Structure 1
Amino acid sequence: MRMGNEALLTKLREALGNAAVITDSDVTDSYSRDMMPLAEAGRPLAVVLPSDVDGVQATVRACAEAKVPIVPRGAGSGLSGAANAIDGCVVLVMTKFDRILEIDPANRLAVVQPGVVNLDFRNAVEKHGLFYPPDPASYDWCTIGGNLSTNSGGMCCVKYGVTTDAVLGLEVVLADGSVLRTGRRTVKGVAGYDLAKLFVGSEGTLGVITEATVSLRPLPQAPGTLVAGFDRTEAAGEAVSRVVREGLVPSLMEIMDASSIKAAESYLNTDLGAGSDCQALLLCQSDAGGELAQRELAALEQICLDCGSTMTYATEDLTEGKMLLQARRVVLTALEQYGVWLTDDVCVPRTRIAELIAGCERISEEVGLRIAVVGHAGDGNMHPTIVYAPDSADEFARARRAFDAILEVGLSLGGTVTGEHGVGKIKRDWLAREIGPVGLRVHRQIKQALDPDNLFNPGSMFSPA
């Protein structure tokens, strides 16, 4: 016999304590959605904040008995609706899992709980001369668990990869409440399926991650920085292609279009030195150190000049480099000068970045809204951001059309509909289109095998068959 809601709440309180089970709608509503305004969100039955694995297991088992869905959640910094509640669900918040359990400098690894904030973790391992590369834009408040759930990236991806590239092993609570430990602590290992990587990027649809073992790198040298301005977006795109062709791997290579440059300069009340005719800005860094960094920056600068850069400036001063990079980091905040924003997330072949930016310019003219494009030029992951008036239903509708039109352009250029934000609840149809019917069938078969009652985050990534 199915357990009723009141019986479920009683059972959860008995297992976790009254303070860990929240039903006040004023509080639960604040946990009902992430940062993506397009994604629908329901009203949860309760918000549960366990502090140990036993609490997660008890929650999963009780919800399974009651046939009540579970939506795992971290800090809520996501941009796809993957952590959004559905009506009557239990939102399982993992922020109390906030301990770094181990840092092993000799083996360059760490064991960390999912509620640890990314920046706090990076700062902790830095004290041991080590480096955790994934650095999403929200790294000062997003959590490791959320990064794992969406396979987050960031500015350092061009050289160091995304979250999955750092994952060695995971501890996961499965749909029956059992605990799966998968992966390894060794540098190499091919025993069985790579189940750890299966859960990374699964957006809470296959299980609840309660612990991660991640690899670390030696702390890089303080980076040197290069900024290059172009009066044609195509020239900036050619510079990116040349960098890739010639085998240079900067630790960071970002691009900003004219709209994002103007917004950042206005917000920071500064002049980036690119000039009024600048259509694109490349920001590159090298953390190779010493003469190697100097040579790498010089090679990058020469490529930019050869491709028609109208301005280049290189510096080894760390403070100056941080100031230049700040212009890239503040773009989303800077765009709030003009309205609220809706940011997209497409990844295209690096040779086609300029075409994507041109496509966004065309869409901007068609819908009559500002669209600013910034992105990780080193891996082709672009973030076109649409700005609209918060009190205009018409502009919101046009922003939604622009969002989909950008995805259409990305796919037409041989790209993917999400490079690092995830599918969530806003790109389900686009995922089906990208991976095709066979790919979708395999996704559903994996989901059915691990979560036969569709308990975990139903409706995220794809709908049941």
Structure 2
Amino acid sequence: MTDVTTLTDSLPAGTVVTDPDILAAYRQDRAQDPDAGTPLALVRPTTTAQVQSAVRWCAEAGVPIVTRGAGTSLSGGATAVDGALMITTEKMRGLAVDTSTRTAVCKPGMLNAEVKAAAAEHGLWYPPDPSSFEICTIGGNAATNAGGLCCVKYGVTVDYVLGLEVVLADGRAIRLGGKQLKDSAGLSLTRLFVGSEGLLGIITEVTVRLLPPQAPACTVVAVFPTVADASRAVVAVTSQTRPAMLEFMDNTSINAVEDMLAMDLDRTAGAMLIAQSDAPGPAGAAEVALIEQAFRAHHAQEVFTTDDPVEGEAFAMARRVAIPAVERRGSLLLEDVGVPLPELPALVQGVAEIAEKNDVTIAVIAHAGDGNTHPLIVFDPEDTDEARRAQLAFDQIMGLAVSMGGTITGEHGVGRLKKGWLRAQLGDDALELTTTIKQALDPQGMLNPGVML
């Protein structure tokens, strides 16, 4: 085993951790990969310089690095590797809002919710809102290009990142972009690093743009007899407008959330859609009417509309807690597949057929407005045959999405759990180009080994 004494001596006391009990707590991320390894040591830096010291030590010692934020990855992107140094950015804290440029400069350990709150204190808004926004970090959001409930209208993380500070595999710290809203100088390196899942460098600072506060939203909720009706209603809405939110839950997820929250959801519904419009004045009223009409035209059994923000947030929360609610029923394999919007009904139907074929329970929730679905495959890991069938279903769903011109991940990242399907989506040439970029920036292959490639 590599001796970390030199590394420990080069950093402030307590920065390097080798306690086995603490290391055990950092082996897995939210994906709960059963094949997770045990890190050589854990480094908890508070500054970019400390990250640089750790990376240079690894480069000299030939030790690989796994980077971790809050450990909320759903694709195994922060799973520990045997003998690798784990660098967690959770203690890299700090945030400054600049109202003159409507930007915020954030250290990577800041939670998404904290960035939102700081922006709100200055009368501004940071839109990206993963369901885990209260516990996920802005560094992790940038590393995976996280999305969320409002991205159907307002976009994903990359649409808000203006600048980055990144520590490269050789220990250099580089600054990319800045507070300017337009910048065409050179290649778009900032965008290259957003969504790179720690393969190209370690993000130590993020500059994001902020918007004026979101206008009050009107919420439209509808229940449908079947998932096919609901998914066709989604296409009907999105072919005419882009609402601020358009979320989907099937019967299994509805019942799981009702078990958790007891908010009187319709347990008999085949599916539920939750839409919001934040368009102002007459435009908002017209958009709400359009949504209501599309829902009713596709056999909605009940349509409920409210401009009460408390009621609206309650329904948004029902969608946000769907994953932990379904997880109460067993272990999960979490999908993150997306398709072009016209293919959404066929994808939802295909997932149902895969569930039946493999005799497994699959709950489907979705950021339906942008075609990004989260089929949640429920299984008992102690049941070897059921676990095998769950994995088959997992692979078949990714294959189905790719066959429809879609993606194996809309917002969670490839991580370790989906990399076997990356070639099927990208093709040989694009994967070769990806590998070339990785080798150019990380010739030793130190950074996040086993992720994506």
Match of 1:253 in 2: 246
Inter-partner Cα distance in structure 1 for 2:44 and 2:328: 36
Query: When the two structures are aligned, how many residues end up with a matched partner?
Result: 453
One of 12, 16, 19 as aligned partner of 2:14: 19
What letter corresponds to residue 106 of structure 1 in structure 2?
S
Report whether the alignment pairs 1:269 with 2:291. no
Q: TM-score normalized by structure 1?
A: 0.94
One of 381, 396, 400 as aligned partner of 2:391: 400
Match of 2:153 in 1: 159
One of 177, 190, 195 as aligned partner of 2:171: 177
Inter-partner Cα distance in structure 2 for 1:335 and 1:355: 23
Match of 1:334 in 2: 325
What letter corresponds to residue 7 of structure 2 in structure 1?
L
Match of 2:81 in 1: 86
What letter corresponds to residue 141 of structure 2 in structure 1?
N
Structural mapping, 1:288-303, within 5 Å: 288-303=279-294
What letter corresponds to residue 2 of structure 2 in structure 1?
N
- The answer to whether the Cα contact below 8 Å between 1:230 and 1:279 also exists between their aligned partners in 2 is yes
Match of 1:372 in 2: 363
- Superposed CA offset, 1:70-99 (max 9, x none): 111101000111111211100001011111
What letter corresponds to residue 304 of structure 2 in structure 1?
Y
One of 210, 219, 237 as aligned partner of 1:216: 210
Match of 2:423 in 1: 432
Provide the alpha-carbon RMSD of the alignment: 1.5
Percent of aligned pairs sharing the same letter:
46
- The answer to whether the Cα contact below 8 Å between 1:56 and 1:173 also exists between their aligned partners in 2 is yes
Match of 2:94 in 1: 99
One of 40, 61, 65 as aligned partner of 1:66: 61
For residue 311 of structure 1, report the CA deviation from its aligned partner: 1.4
- Superposed CA offset, 1:182-217 (max 9, x none): 113211110000101101111111011100111111
For residue 179 of structure 1, report the CA deviation from its aligned partner: 1.1
Inter-partner Cα distance in structure 2 for 1:106 and 1:272: 44
Equivalent residue of 1:130, what SS? Answer: coil
- The answer to whether the Cα contact below 8 Å between 1:255 and 1:374 also exists between their aligned partners in 2 is yes
Inter-partner Cα distance in structure 2 for 1:418 and 1:49: 29
What letter corresponds to residue 183 of structure 2 in structure 1?
G
Report whether the alignment pairs 1:47 with 2:38. no
Inter-partner Cα distance in structure 2 for 1:437 and 1:231: 42
Inter-partner Cα distance in structure 2 for 1:29 and 1:147: 24
Inter-partner Cα distance in structure 1 for 2:278 and 2:93: 30
Inter-partner Cα distance in structure 2 for 1:160 and 1:40: 37
Match of 1:77 in 2: 72
Inter-partner Cα distance in structure 1 for 2:70 and 2:225: 40
What letter corresponds to residue 427 of structure 1 in structure 2?
K
Inter-partner Cα distance in structure 1 for 2:327 and 2:440: 44
- Superposed CA offset, 1:273-329 (max 9, x none): 4x72x2221110112244433322122111212232221110001111112222212
What letter corresponds to residue 12 of structure 1 in structure 2?
L
What letter corresponds to residue 121 of structure 1 in structure 2?
V
* Poorly superposed stretches of 4+, deviation over 3 Å: 289-292
- The answer to whether the Cα contact below 8 Å between 2:33 and 2:79 also exists between their aligned partners in 1 is no
- The answer to whether the Cα contact below 8 Å between 1:108 and 1:130 also exists between their aligned partners in 2 is yes
Gaps of 5+ in 2: none
- The answer to whether the Cα contact below 8 Å between 1:75 and 1:143 also exists between their aligned partners in 2 is yes
Equivalent residue of 2:127, what SS? Answer: coil
